Amino acid sequence: MAGNRYVRDCCVLIITETWLHTQVPDATVQLVDHTRHRWERNSDSGKNRGGGLCIYVHDGWCNNSTVLDRHCSPDLEFMSMRCRPFFLPRELAAVVITAVYIPPHANVNMALSLLLNAINTHQRAHPSGVHIIAGDFNKANLKTVLPKFHQYVKCPTRGENTLDHVYSNIKHAYRAVPLPHLGQSDHLSLLLTPAYTPLSRQTKPTKKTITTWPEDALPQLQDCFENTQWEAFYHEDLEIFTDAVLSYIKYCIGNVTVEKSIWVFPNQKPWMTRQVRMLLRARDSAFRSGNRALYSAARANLKRGIRTAKGEYKRRIEEHLNNPRQVWQGIQTITNYKGCAVTHPGTWMRDWQRR
């Protein structure tokens, strides 16, 4: 494997039916510059040998990988792990990889049910992550229980049958290329090359004008309202009176506020604030300086800042849920709903009287 550059340079290696057991030491299956995660078949499978899963993570891609879940039964063997690579597109928080082996004579419905429960648990824990499920499925098809997942392998992997599948929750994320057999395996190897286009490249950023309130804006606005002679706006027609007052209030607000243009990126998180951006720049500066103590402190400050920003965003969402009007306005914005024009009863009555 070390002599094959395709294998050597892969970020993750997933091997099913390893036939490893507890008597095989880790040193015999260790690869240089890789972190190994193995799971052997045990007595819960009803068999004494065969099966087994192994995942290798390249240290140059990620040095933070953790096993989340393992399972072994007569119908299903799987091992799930979470990776936090050095670099990921901003819209993806983590990579959850699940290696799967479903025996040829397994109960497919039972196997898919167990696998579905595990994947749902991982998706709830990592809703913004990329979930990859790969392995030997034999007669099973994961899309029957997870129709929104996408299968990348289109070529036969054993004879004329496609027994090995790779699924993900992101469409067009990878391209599967068949490679020669690995060792004495009777299945072809599969190389998945990334084909995912980050959101920052899929959609161009948009320019948006926002209104900001300086620190002294509120006192100035209060002073303006206190010195206003509201009697001058009075009119017998309620609509004219209301329109005049609202126009004046809007004029006063425009005098004390400042409009500025900002760029909105498609992969921007909704909880991202100015303070978090400042902490991000401080962390990057500390990293470039080479000062480990300064970099560690900057990372801790960034972590606390992100936690605070997420908490404030959650609080705002919960406050909106308690206001039916804001909830309805949010639904209209999401669904792009445009209501029909409704004539006010008073307006209709005046129009009828004019006739």
349 assigned to some structural domain: no
Q: For residue 290, what pLDDT is reported?
A: 85
Distance CA 146, CA 123 (A): 12
Cα dist from 95 to 43, 128, 227, 315, whole Å: 30, 9, 60, 28
| β 150-151/164-168 pair status | antiparallel
Nearest to 17 by CA among 164, 141, 175, 167: 164
Same domain, 218 and 187: no
pLDDT at 354: 47
Q: Are residues 279 and 139 in the same domain?
A: no
Q: 86 is written with which tokens?
A: 């050095």
Out of 196, 218, 244, pick the residue that ends a domain: 196
Domain range for 51 is 5-196
Per-residue pLDDT of the chain (355 residues; tens, 9 = 90+): 555 666 778 899 999 999 888 889 988 888 888 999 999 988 888 887 888 999 999 999 998 999 999 999 999 999 999 999 988 888 888 999 999 999 999 999 999 999 999 999 999 999 889 999 999 999 999 999 999 999 999 999 998 899 999 999 999 889 998 888 887 888 999 999 888 877 777 778 888 888 888 888 888 888 888 888 888 888 888 888 888 888 988 888 888 898 888 887 777 778 888 899 899 899 989 988 888 899 899 999 999 999 999 888 888 877 777 777 777 776 666 565 666 554 444 444 444 444 4
224 and 98 share a domain?
no
Final residue of a structural domain among 177, 196, 215: 196
pTM of the predicted structure, to 2 decimals:
0.67
pLDDT score of 73: 93
In angstroms, rounded to a whole number, what is the distance separating the alpha carbons of residues 277 and 263? 13
For residue 333, the model assigns a pLDDT of: 61
Structure letter (DSSP) for residue 339: P
Answer for the pair 36, 54: CB distance below 8 angstroms, yes or no.
Answer: yes
Q: How many domains does the chain have?
A: 2
Same domain, 266 and 150: no
Give the residue among 89, 21, 78, 22 at the shortest CA–CA distance from 55.
78
Phi, then psi, of 284 in degrees rounded to 5: -65, -40
> In angstroms, rounded to a whole number, what is the distance separating the alpha carbons of residues 134 and 100?
6
pLDDT of residue 279: 93
Cα gap 107→75, rounded to integer Å = 6
- 138 and 281 assigned to the same domain: no
Distances (CA, A) of 83 to 62, 90, 171, 177, 346: 7, 15, 20, 23, 63
